[in-house]
Amino acid sequence: MLSGLAARVQGHLLSAYISFALLVMPIWFFGFGIADRLRVLLSSAFSRVSLAAFFAMPYAVFALPAREFRWRIQLGFLLICLAGAALLEWARRQHGTARGGWQDVIVLVTLGLSVDLRVFESAWPYAGISGLSKLVLVDLALYGYLVIRQLEGIGYDLRANLSDVVIGVREFVFLAPIAIALGLSLHFLHWHWTMPRLWLPVAAWAFTFLFIAIPEELFFRGLVQNLLERSCGRHASLVIASILFGLSHFNKRLGTASGAFNWRYVLLAAVAGIFYGRAWMARRRLMASAITHTSIDVTWGIWLR
């Protein structure tokens, strides 16, 4: 696996690993409370906004040694990081930490469309690592909303507790039979009764949790549903966020033609979003919804894809 990846990145595995580490560090450390320390250290608006430029650095760390550096991409990362940070600083000053504002709409729409339309996918232009560009935006969202915006009720904490596991598993048990029955009836799911080696579901669970479930739950539950709840109420925000979550899967690459509208995937994702949202709402903890999300994705990927 590693030798194949090394071949794909033309021998620049070291710079790929370093950029990967720089991208994962914020996801990890913000999950263990570093945002509280940064709020104390960064006492001025200028320092808070300026530090956001750090999240554009991993691209240069990889691209310069690999001779893949393009100013257009680097400036794009810098622009989205600095402009996003400035808008969130403005939002906190104007609306406080409990209410959303138009600045949040701009930031979230920009982040969401950048991922869905794969605006920065060519930044790491090799199979196996092209998804790293999404982590730049995840890092920015974490820093922007935990340190600058200081939005209440996000629930981003990687220190799991028993209630997270209980809630996450409960919603998985509720969702799984519904999703399987619907998916089979739509011919979207197909049984694969094989028993993989133990390491495969364990590795798939860890990868999915960190790089798929956590980013998507942060965006759709911790930010979108959280902000909608303040103006629309709990139930309406749950439905709207779930619909948006479903629509974000419209062009996922699952063997369909590039750009085709995959309505079956959209429908199933929207239904799943209801249960992910319920898991988050129970104690406003992303860990719970990420457990449900990861368990569904791994079950699908191994036995039903």
DSSP string, 175-213: HHHHHHHHHHHTT----------THHHHHHHHHHIIIII
Rounded to whole angstroms, the Cα distance separating 190 from 302 reads 11
Q: Beta-carbon neighbour count of residue 262 at 10 Å?
A: 19
Q: Are the CB atoms for 276 and 292 separated by under 8 Å?
A: yes
Tell me, what's the pLDDT at 128? Answer: 75
pTM score over 0.85 = yes
Q: How many other CB atoms sit within 10 Å of the CB of residue 221? A: 31
pLDDT tens for the chain, 305 residues long, are 444 455 456 567 888 899 999 999 999 999 999 999 999 999 999 999 999 999 999 999 999 998 999 999 999 999 999 999 999 999 999 999 999 999 999 999 999 999 999 999 999 988 778 889 999 999 999 999 999 999 999 999 999 899 999 999 999 999 999 999 999 999 999 988 887 888 898 999 999 999 999 999 999 999 999 999 999 999 999 999 999 999 999 887 665 445 578 899 999 999 999 999 999 999 999 999 999 999 999 999 999 98
- Cα separation of 203 and 184, whole Å? 26
Q: What pLDDT is attached to residue 3?
A: 47
Query: What is the torsion angle, in degrees rounded to the nearest 10, for the CA atoms of residue 188, residue 118, residue 275 and residue 178?
Result: 0
Phi and psi torsions of 251, nearest 5°: -120, 25
* Alpha-helical segments (H) within the chain: 2-8, 13-30, 34-41, 45-51, 57-63, 71-95, 102-116, 132-143, 162-185, 199-208, 214-217, 226-232, 234-247, 263-283, 286-299
Buried b (16+ CB within 10 A) or exposed e, 59-82: bbbbbebbebeeeebbebbbebbb
Residues 6+ apart with CB under 8 A from 189: 179, 180, 183, 300, 304, 305
Task: Report domain extents, the chain.
Answer: 1-152, 158-305
- Is the Cβ–Cβ distance between 230 and 96 less than 8 Å? no
Characterize 133-142 residue by residue with b for buried, 16 or more Cβ atoms within 10 angstroms of its Cβ, and e for exposed.
bbbbbbbbbb
Question: Please, are residues 241 and 280 in contact by the beta-carbon 8 Å criterion?
Answer: no
**What angle do helix axes 286-299 and 263-283 make, rounded to 10 degrees?**
150
